[in-house]
Structure 1
């Protein structure tokens, strides 16, 4: 499977409406299959596969969990220093600060509202994938000067995209 690595990742995705369409069900199945087949991947967002929906999957306790219309609330201000990679930015890993403990909210593939507490790597993964649904890539979360440079570059690209839409 090839993953999208272009400016479309810098655009906030559309919220999913229930009941799920056949198209959205197929996207969820594609995410499950890709994560099951890729032993190294921890999470995968629909927009990385070229689909404009607020959906991602992540591995929790050796199972792929589909998260639709995700959000989270930090449980404390304590931060977790994470080394992150991304299927859409091959060969790069960065150091980020993420909330160490969060309450994650999402709708399951069966249209059931879920709230779960996550910590450490699982918390970082949920935040990384939620960023994807909000049009934010990991380079923007990088600590230090490189992160600042990436944020400025992404802001210029977003402004350019907005001008093209006018």
Structure 2
């Protein structure tokens, strides 16, 4: 497995819609493994392929955060929300591509998602609470949407300027 560098906003690849995955081969399984390792190392609970510069509809997540909890790594290929609850939840969201920045975002409390695994097998499952927020956040990435796109323009611009400054500092280091 290989740790992959995570793109930092602003990067044009983070604003593009990703292509559906059509090849369910060993390279896809290896990519999912790399993404999980990168996500755990970061550390985060979700990572979408465009965040590592791969423009395919693949995301990984594991929302088990309790100390001593059993990890539940998931790789979702070509995921789509097919139902969402009217009930909403607000979570303070962050993003590995926008390090150190957090904001309260309202999303449906529960969603039903259809996807394929890395072998191409179809799945459908309902997610709620943090899992629902995470899967929606990561699917947004596949559609070129960042959590800061839900914020008011002034707050979004402020965060973008902070990320531009961070990128300049990293380039000098």
TM-score, normalisation: structure 2 = 0.77
Q: Tell me the CA shift for residue 110 of structure 1.
A: 2.1
SS of the residue corresponding to residue 73 of structure 2 reads strand
Q: Tell me the CA shift for residue 43 of structure 1.
A: 0.2
Q: Distance in 2 between matches of 1:125 and 1:139?
A: 14
Matches within 5 A, 1:22-41: 22-38=26-42, 40-41=43-44
Aligned pair count reads: 147
CA offsets 1:78-125 (integer angstroms, 9 cap, x no match): 111111000000110011111001101110112111111111110000
Mapped pair 1:56 → 2:59: yes
Mapped pair 1:81 → 2:90: yes
- Residue equivalent to 1:19: 24
CA offsets 1:34-88 (integer angstroms, 9 cap, x no match): 23434x4110011101111010100055221000001113342111111100000
Cα contact 1:71–1:104 (8 A) shared by 2: yes
- Residue equivalent to 2:99: 90
- Residue equivalent to 1:124: 133
Cα contact 2:28–2:118 (8 A) shared by 1: no
Give the one of 56, 75, 78 matched to 1:69: 78
Give the one of 114, 137, 140 matched to 1:105: 114
Q: Distance in 2 between matches of 1:75 and 1:11?
A: 24
Give the one of 111, 133, 150 matched to 2:142: 133
TM-score, normalisation: structure 1 = 0.80
RMSD: 2.0
Question: Mean alpha-carbon deviation: is it higher for 10-19 or for 129-138?
Answer: 10-19
Cα contact 1:36–1:64 (8 A) shared by 2: no
